[in-house]
Amino acid sequence: MCKLPPISLYIHIPWCSKKCGYCDFNSYVSKEIIPEKKYIEHLLKDFEKDLLLISKREINTIFIGGGTPSLLKSSSINKLIIGIKERASISHTAEISIEANPKTMEYKRFIDYKNSGINRFSLGIQTFNSHLLKKIERTYDSKEAIDAIKETKKIIDNINLDLMYGLPGQRLEDALLDLKNTIQHNPSHISWYQLGIEPNTVFYSKKIQLPHEDLIFKMLVQGEKLLKQSGYQRYEISSYSKPNYQCQHNLNYWNFGDYIGIGCGAHGKITQKNGKMFRTVKNKNINDFLDGNYLNSINQVLKKDQIFEYFMNVFRLYQPVFKKHFREKININEMIIEKKIAIAIKKGFLINKMNYWNTTKKGKFFLNYLLEIFLD
C-alpha cells in the first residue's frame, strides 16, 4: 500500500468572449448564450463519476479555470461550489481560486463569487501596454486592466496577476514597466511567464515573430531582480509571491500531487492505494460533453513515465527535491535512477546531497536538457 498524495480539483469552463491568437487551451468563443445551467449540471455529474476513483479523500484546493470562468453568472458559480461541497469532503482551509478577464469582470458578480467561498482571484492582465494588448489580441485596454485590479482589491486581498514578457514588438523597458505597474498594485502573487508560440494556434500559423532570445533573457534577469527587490519570492519558474501567498493548487501539481479534472477537455491524475497511477482526459467536444459523454480516456502511467513526469514537475520549484519525497510519490528506491542522476551532476545541472537533490542555476536555465536525461 502506498502513501496517497494530497488531491486537488480542477474545473474547466471552456467559453471565452474571444480566443487570443496565442491560446492553445480548449476553449470556445461564446457567440450565443452560454448554456450555464446545463453545463453546471453535467460538471457535477462528471465530478460524481471521478469521486469513485478517489476513495473519499479530502480535497485540499479547487481551481476554476478556462476559458474565462468569470463569464458565468454568480448564481452558476454558487450552484457549482455548493454542488461540489455537497458531494465531497472539502478541507475547511481549502484554497478556492477563479480565473478572470478584466473585460468580463462585473464587480457585483465578484462579491458574490467571494460569498460563494472563492478566496483567491487570478486576473489575466498580460500587459498594461494598450498597443501590445492589441497585438496579442486581448479585448481590453490598459485603463480597464487597472480598474479591474483596483476594484478587485476592494473585495479580496489574495490576488494573482498574470503577466507575460517576450511579446511581439516588446522592448526591455516595456517589460520592466509592466512589472513596475504590477508591483505598484501590491498583489499577493504574480505569475510572470514568457510568451511561447504553440502549434495549432493562430500566431503559429501567422508565423508571429517574438523578440530575440538575448533580449528575452535580459527581460528575465532584470525583471527577476526587480521582483526580488520588491519583496516577491520566486518559488517556481514563473511564479512569485509575497510570503505565505504561494498558489497551493499549483504547488500540488508541481509536487506531483493528485488532482481530479472535470469539464470539457480537463485532465486528471489519480493514484490508487495499490500504487497504480492513472491519467484521465475528458471529452474536448462541448456537444458530446453536454450529452453526458465525459470521459475521453483513462490510462495507467507506467513507472518509467512516472519518473519523468515527477521530475518535469518538481524541477520547476525553487526548493530541494527530497529523496524521501521521490520514494513516496513513485514508490521505488532512488537507486534505480542513479545513472541518470550521475549524468545530470556531470553536466552541472544537479547537486547531490545525502537526503536531497538540488537543481543548479545552470539546471534551471537548461531545464529541458535536464529533463531529457530522465526520458526513458
- Rounded mean pLDDT of 348-356? 97
- What letter represents residue 301's amino acid? V
In angstroms, the CA 148 to CA 137 distance is: 18
Which one-letter DSSP state was computed for residue 58?
P
In angstroms, the CA 100 to CA 335 distance is: 45
> Which is more confidently placed, 364 or 26?
364
Q: Count of alpha carbons within 13 Å of 341, Cβ hemisphere only?
A: 15
Length of the chain: 376
Question: Cell numbers 500559423 label which residue?
Answer: 205
Residues 6+ apart with CB under 8 A from 289: 42, 46, 263, 264, 282, 283
First to last CA, the chain: 26
In angstroms, the CA 245 to CA 132 distance is: 29
Sorting pLDDT into bands at 50, 70 and 90, what band is 252? Answer: very high
Tell me what pLDDT residue 104 has: 64
- Rounded mean pLDDT of 117-132? 95
Whether 21 contacts 203, CB under 8 Å:
yes
Tell me what pLDDT residue 278 has: 97
Residue 196 has φ and ψ, to the nearest 5°, of -120, 145
Cα 2 to Cα 51, 327, 332, 356, distances in angstroms = 19, 10, 10, 21
Q: What is the pLDDT of residues 159-208, one digit of tens each?
A: 999 999 999 999 999 999 999 999 999 999 999 999 988 888 888 888 88
The full set of domains in the chain, from first to last, is 7-252 (3.20.20.70), 320-376 (no CATH)
Q: What is the pLDDT of residues 276-286, one digit of tens each?
A: 999 999 999 99
Question: Cell numbers 511581439 label which residue?
Answer: 168
Cα 340 to Cα 182, 305, 346, 371, distances in angstroms = 41, 14, 10, 10
- Encode burial over 361-372: b for 16+ CB neighbours within 10 A, e otherwise: eebbebbeebbe
In angstroms, the CA 346 to CA 328 distance is: 26
- The model carries a pTM of 0.94
Counting DSSP H helices and E strands in the chain, the numbers are 15, 17
Tell me what pLDDT residue 3 has: 75
In angstroms, the CA 100 to CA 121 distance is: 7
Residue 139, helix vs strand vs coil: coil
Assigned C-alpha cell, 97: 481560486
